[in-house]
Amino acid sequence: MERRTVFRELLGMSKRDFTLLFSLAIISTLLIFSIIPEYLAREDYRKINLSAKLIPPSPEYPLGTDFLGRDFLSLIIWGSRYALIEMLYPTIIAATIGIILGLVAGYIGGIPDQIIMRGVDILMSFPSFLLALVILNTLGPGLENAILAVAIGRISGFVRLTRSLSLPTKELGYIEYARALGASKLRIMTRYILPNILTPIIVELTFSMPGTLAMVAGLSFLGLAGKPPVADWGVLLQQARIYLRFAPWAVLVPGAAIFLVALAFNTIGEALRDIVDPRRKYMRIL
């Protein structure tokens, strides 16, 4: 299906589906927040005001303040950019590597396929969070390394998906025709197979984003990814944890931000899947 049509259909569906409309609104807000936080946030995220620390949500501070007296609404706006980075970068890195390896394994087959798939088996023997944890431990803490560690843990899923999609595709007549015309393997993989299997991969990308966000936030929560005073949502959660009893909003606000973004991506992913593959509609499993 034409990808532009998919987008148009998504917009059409959102007229009937309130949750979908809400999700699209959340993603648009996230994008706007992350592009121009300096114009939208009332306060700088480095501005400390200890006389206003841990104020509950009130007209002056709609989402309350944190233990340094920073306005939570501003912090959430500043943190959007990190959230977007933490979703996009690991997913893009993992998808790029995964698609290349998956195409090679699926189209060329033989020994390269064996090697790649054994590697995938080994990567999949580790629970993904554990893998990210130990890789991050070796690379050293920090946001860049966390992104890399999470990305490595996600590669195997994309390899398997791409491989399983390209296996039936390579048997199709037009691929044989291209081969008969003397197209190189690289050309067949990139020009003839990839465009035809890209749509389900894009659906998978949408589902992957909230997972990576939660994982990086989890690593931040353990103090291994982002570092204060950055307004990263996971870092905010980690700092607020010890005030849980006295200032629950300090945990709930960044937590709710992560939750809403995840909800939005999952809803959109599900809608995309319905559009791309209507036959599977009753099989939707989130």
Partner 1 sequence: MLKYFLKRVLYFIPTIFGISVIVFVLIRMIPGDPIEIILGQHATPQLQEIAKSQLGLDQPIYIQFFYWLRNMLTGNWGISLFNRYPVSELIFRRFSFTIQLAVLSMANVATFGVLLGIIAAYKADSMIDNLSRNISIWLWSAPTFLSALILLLVFSLYLGLFPSMGSGGIEYLILPSIALSLPGISYISRITRGTILEVAGQDYIRTAHAKGLRRRRIMFRHVLKNSLLPVVTMLGMQFGWFLSGSFIVETIFSFPGLGELTTRSLLNRDYPIVQGCTFFIAIIYCSINLFVDVLYTYLDPRIRFERRA
Site size for partner 1 (CB under 8 A): 46
Q: Does 122 bind partner 1 (CB under 8 A)?
A: yes
* CA 118 and chain centroid, separation: 26
Residue 62 contacts residue 211 (beta carbons within 8 Å): no
Query: What number of residues does the chain have?
Result: 286
Q: Does 272 bind partner 1 (CB under 8 A)?
A: no
* Of positions 88, 124, 202, 276, contacts partner 1 by CB under 8 A: 124
Q: Does 130 bind partner 1 (CB under 8 A)?
A: yes
For partner 1, give the closer residue by CB, 118 or 191: 118
For partner 1, give the closer residue by CB, 79 or 210: 210
Q: Exposed, middle or buried by CB within 10 Å (0-12, 13-18, 19+), for 57? A: middle
- DSSP code at position 56: P
For partner 1, give the closer residue by CB, 132 or 193: 132
Task: Give the E-state strand segments of 59-135 in sequence order.
Answer: none
Which residues ranging from 154 to 213 are in contact with partner 1 (CB under 8 A)? 210
Task: Give the E-state strand segments of the chain in sequence order.
Answer: none
**C-alpha–C-alpha distance, residues 162 and 197, integer Å:** 8
Q: Sign of the C-alpha dihedral, residues 237, 240, 246, 250?
A: negative
Residue 120 contacts residue 97 (beta carbons within 8 Å): no
* Of positions 270, 271, 273, 275, contacts partner 1 by CB under 8 A: 270
Q: Does 119 bind partner 1 (CB under 8 A)?
A: yes
Which residues ranging from 133 to 152 are in contact with partner 1 (CB under 8 A)? 133-135, 137-138, 140
Q: Catalog residues that contact partner 1 under the rule CB under 8 A.
A: 19, 118-119, 121-122, 124-127, 129-130, 133-135, 137-138, 140, 210, 214, 217-218, 221-224, 237, 241, 244-245, 248, 251-252, 255-256, 258-259, 262-263, 266-267, 270, 282-286
